[in-house]
Amino acid sequence: MSKILLVEDNEFNRDMLCRRLQRRGFDVALAEDGQRGIAIAKSENPDLILMDMDLPVLDGWEATRRLKTDASLKSIPIIALTAHALQSDCDRAYQAGCDDFATKPIEFAELISKIDRALGSRREAPAS
């Protein structure tokens, strides 16, 4: 089972995404800010990180930069989650080290497609 770290400060979004990802067969770890996200990434070693970019304590931009400069974590794909849908926001996410970008409100089918693409053959099929 693939493990996803969801770093999201909005409780409603965190709960909704967590439940939907679990129903799709993912093991989900949760963090509510960028600093906690980095700590959990180090302890849990997730297969993929969904990173809200507007976070308290340490924002997603800086958390992503720190994750991508850590030799033990830099290969973990990170998908940015943000309400900012401008091309400049997308470019900024890629410059910070994100591997992909999804705008809020989240279109779940599109997000799953991005997750599957990022995980590639590492993703196990969910149990029926």
Question: If you search the block for the tokens 């990170």, which residue do you land on?
Answer: 78
What percentage of residues in the chain have a pLDDT greater than 70?
94
Choices 3.40.50.300, 1.20.120.430, 1.25.60.10, 3.40.50.2300: CATH for 3-121: 3.40.50.2300
Map out the domains of the chain as residue ranges.
Answer: 3-121
Return the structure tokens found at 87.
């091309």
Mean of the per-residue pLDDT values of the chain = 91
Q: What is the pLDDT of residues 5-44, one digit of tens each?
A: 999 999 999 999 999 999 999 999 999 999 999 999 999 9
What percentage of residues in the chain have a pLDDT greater than 90?
81
- The partner residues of 52 in beta bridges, in order of sequence, read 81
Over 80: is that where the pLDDT of 122 sits? no
Return the structure tokens found at 79.
């998908």
Q: What is the pTM of this model?
A: 0.92
Task: Give CA–CA dist 52/63, Å, rounded.
Answer: 10
Answer positive or negative: Cα dihedral of 102, 29, 17, 104.
negative
Q: Determine the residue type at 113.
A: S
